[in-house]
Structure 1
């Protein structure tokens, strides 16, 4: 979360990037405000003209000037609103692009830590809030603020004593703002965080709907979403309550200023120190402030929301990108062959938690060999798989891929050594060939077909209307779960990292598709060091060795036959699996 000062600096820097548009916006806003105030000053001239018995032609001329000023003021205000919106739209487009780029440049562990709900709410909900604010609140607040300044100057232009009387309301305004701003800004930020938590609860529940139904967790998920929704509602009520109290303080300031102007004006008129026109124009000028001040107040809620969203988006830009020690993706030399994996004394805990997810884990996967991780839900399998893939940094211990310690590599270098494939596989909208080339941008069509043939996907790809050029994903050919997994495995073949981590990558397929995909997995990983997080124990059987995790510790290791003969935890899992099958 950026501070207000940091967000303001970012906006100022953006405005300097488009000096012509910024200057035009400021000039039209000031001109529009000045032209709106001018008729009030002329009204005082009309009063003095009537009292002084000036000719009708003079009054007609002043009246024409008033009408012309009003019309030109309306044009200036309209131009100002348009230019503010255009400037804001450019700012928002750049901010969103840079925020998305910043997210893509962050370490994967950082995204996992904050949760996708928070990320999506920033580049989605916060952008929407800011977009609405740029269209409504920002033009209103900016234009009204300039109008308030011009009107205040106009009051001092009438008579400095009348100007001071009107300025007597400023301390009351300042006290109202001083009371409101420190309390409301954190409240708006908390409201945005609560909305992000609600989004995360919804996303996690929908993404894992199969698991939710399998374990009959519908009520628990519903309760969590309901709880987060009530938090959002409570913050909304609290924000509205604060805003209502703020409006009351603003009305009090208006009352103080108007009373002071009327009293001082009466005294000046009685003493002959001011004309009737000046004394008449002053309260009208001050009353002219009511409309812009009211507009500021009634859009202040939207402006505060926009400000909170701006600080969240600018805060993303301040997140450090991946910049650890080594940025060389050539660490995986093709001549070196497969690398082994060595895990020593690995201990890991998530932020803001006391209990480690993994404790003193020691594992070895020989170069070119395979290891299957099995264990109950919550045992730490996915966390261990992510750490071996270079996602996250353990608090103790190390992960070595061949001669390289992952703690000394950036994410690009880690990806050159290790590829990870999870249940969350995606097919992006566009030609299938381009989807495959995400893993190898320079791959030829022959190489794409070889990868598809390796994983057994060439048959259904050839049957597509345009083969590799068929548009898939949104707006194109929809691929079922098995075909999506085939695409992901083909990418794995094209990427050709020496170590592969598969975190239940075929768990979503049906039983018939799972058997087909298990064969595809073995073909894709042939000759490479492989770690399986086994969703099906038939996968574990196919691995060279099996490690059983329980509460973050490795409690058993061995081959399938050895562990069944041992009669321990794996043997019990195997019997339950076999009987269930």
Structure 2
């Protein structure tokens, strides 16, 4: 269980992601795009048909204008000219209506597809093992779920439909020029060569540039989030200068990444703008020569020039959207990259034979760091209350994470009922082991919504009983709407101690076999903390409770005490046995008992 949210903290012992969430390869992005199109294939087909009809009706104007030119040169009557002019107006109106209808259908398709992208992202994010999320950092995951998903949404809702319209128009225009005269069509296409060269130059560099820009943005978000959440620690250890320097470095990297993509655009678009005139000029020059020789009519030359002039507008929109597609393609690769991340254990893993936890020869080291645990051996009996004590940096929090399945040991094993804890499927792990830390979160919604995260089917009676178990029923009853009171910035604000009590109430509702408390009551005052811990112990009678003890009264009340020093388990026994032994625990107890104050050991 993670951070007091009564959620799953299981991991399938997934491969190390190197601290970064993966990025989808281009082939994976294309497959994902095809999958999304197939999911709403009927609407996508309708968009294509409507765009084709709109593009087709748009071709009538230049062709009819060319007919008018030839008709007038031949001495034709005004009546025919009026009829063809009226047909031009009718076709323009039909194109407007069809294009509007196509955009409407396209926008609806885009919104539905965006909803699927968001839902898939949430499902994949929730399926990530806690260890993967923590190593990646909240900044990267948050940026992917907000900025990147929003960029993809803009493409699906706005850019996608516009691009389909423009592509259909451009293709129909080129076909129309070739039908007028193949030679004029060939001249128009050859004149587009500079645009093709500029586009290829841009595409070779754009994807990597936008991926680097996205990664730099994630790094900035991660540093800002970590600094803000740990502001007190930064102040206490006088790390403000180092954090400011790290933020400046990240911002400088982000600035350079943005400048690079800006450089690509400033080269690409001016080159394209200059090249737009080439197809029209080429057709007029060659068409003039051919007309002088009687090879084509003047109307055909005028119509071809108008078509290519008309071609400029959709081509300009296509190239503008190509830039957006590169940005959104990089964002989609980051969003779709979650599909390549390690997953929590799948259903079908073996069930534990009992609730006994065995830690055997465990070694563990964090990424790019030295070994934190060195050959730890420990057995926790079902129903036992075990306190783990020791100085800061001893490995207590690391051990709790391994016991909860948040991380898998580098060597050795951590099993429950003979099954590796890290290999349990999320639902089973959630019922087996709960890890509660001081990092509690109050979700937007009512008090009832916050509690039912742990047990969606819980009745109000169970909710009140859980609140009473942790001493939170009194202040919840005083809220304006009781369980229906909205919490959060726009509702009732909860301080740290109340957030902890809500988290502990979720634990009571989750009703796990094993509860691991790591500073779970750190934000409560000593009297309330002790009352809450004893209330929890009474509610969870018969359950296994492992407490990372930062107040020694917890160790005094435990069945056994485990002493951690320098990543090793150095003492194990009852409170009385360890005090009588005169070792490290006895010295710690004498210091605490003599001062009458709790000795605090911060988590490592």
Q: 1:240 aligns with which of 248, 262, 268?
A: 262
1:155 alignment counterpart: 177
Give me the whole-angstrom Cα distance separating, in 2, the residues matched to 1:407 and 1:355: 22
Q: How does 1:145-544 map to 2 (within 5 A)?
A: 145-251=167-273, 253-319=275-341, 321-324=343-346, 326-327=348-349, 331=352, 339-351=355-367, 353=368, 355-367=370-382, 368-376=384-392, 380-473=395-488, 475-510=490-525, 513-523=528-538, 526-540=541-555, 542-543=557-558, 544=560
Question: 1:288–1:465: structure 2 CA closer, same or farther, 3 Å change rule?
Answer: closer
CA drift of 1:270 comes to 2.4
CA distance in 1, matches of 2:223, 2:45: 45
Q: What is the aligned length?
A: 572
For residue 94 of structure 1, the aligned residue among 116, 121, 131 is: 116
Contact 1:564-1:571 within 8 A present in 2 as well:
no
After the TM superposition, which of the residue ranges 317-326 and 84-93 deviates more from structure 2? 317-326
Unaligned runs of 5+ in 1: none
Aligned twin of 1:547 = 563
CA distance in 2 between counterparts of 1:435 and 1:519 reads: 23
Q: Specify which of 137, 140, 143 is matched with residue 165 of structure 2.
A: 143
Following superposition, the deviation at residue 162 of structure 1 comes to 0.4
**Is 1:71 the equivalent of 2:93?**
yes
Match of 2:18 in 1: none
TM-aligned CA distance change 1:285 to 1:566, over 3 Å: farther
> The residue matched to 2:412 in structure 1 has which SS?
strand
**More displaced 10-residue stretch of structure 1: 500-509 or 89-98:** 500-509
SS across alignment from 2:238:
coil
Aligned partner of residue 506 in structure 1, secondary structure: coil
Deviations 1:20-59 (Å, cap 9, x if unpaired)? 3222211221222223332122222222223222212222
Distance in 1 separating the partners of 2:446 and 2:278: 69
C-alpha separation in 1, matches of 2:463 and 2:121: 33
Normalising by structure 1, report the TM-score: 0.88
Summarize the Cα distance change of 1:465–1:173 in structure 2 as closer, same or farther, 3 Å threshold. Answer: closer
The structure showing larger relative contact order (alpha-carbon pairs under 8 Å, at least 6 residues apart) is: 2
Q: Give yes or no for contact 1:326–1:413 (8 Å, CA) kept in 2.
A: no
CA change 1:272–1:125 in 2 (3 A) is same
Aligned equivalent of 1:4:
26
C-alpha displacement of 1:277:
1.4
> Deviation digits for residues 316-365 of structure 1, max 9, x if unmatched?
2454543357447x647xxx6xx4432222223445x3644433333333
Q: Which runs of 5+ in 2 are unaligned?
A: 1-22, 599-604
User: Against the structure 1 CA distance between its residues 34 and 489, is the aligned structure 2 distance closer, same or farther, given a 3 Å change threshold?
Assistant: same
- The Cα offsets for residues 43-76 of structure 1, whole Å up to 9 and x where unpaired, read as 2222222322221222222222222222222222
Q: 1:169 to 1:380 in 2, by over 3 A?
A: farther
Q: Report the Cα distance in structure 1 between the residues aligned to 2:96 and 2:460, rounded to whole angstroms.
A: 62
What is the deviation of 1:239? 0.4
- Greater Cα offset, 130-139 or 179-188: 130-139
The answer to whether the 8 A contact 1:327-1:412 is kept is: no
* Cα distance in 1, alignment partners of residues 347 and 41 from structure 2: 39
2:130 corresponds in structure 1 to: 108
Specify whether residues 88 and 213 from structure 1 end up closer, same or farther in structure 2 by C-alpha distance, changes over 3 A only.
same
Instruction: Report the secondary structure of 1:424's partner residue.
Output: coil
* TM-score between the two structures when normalised by the length of structure 2: 0.85
* 8 A Cα contact 2:519 2:550, kept in partner: yes
In structure 1, what is the Cα distance between the partners aligned to 2:388 and 2:95? 75
Distance 1:7 1:135 in 2: 18
Q: Return the alpha-carbon distance in structure 2 between the equivalents of residues 322 and 522 of structure 1.
A: 30
Q: How big is the shift at 1:254?
A: 3.5
Distance 1:53 1:570 in 2: 116
Q: Aligned partners of 2:238, 2:553: CA distance in 1, in Å?
A: 25
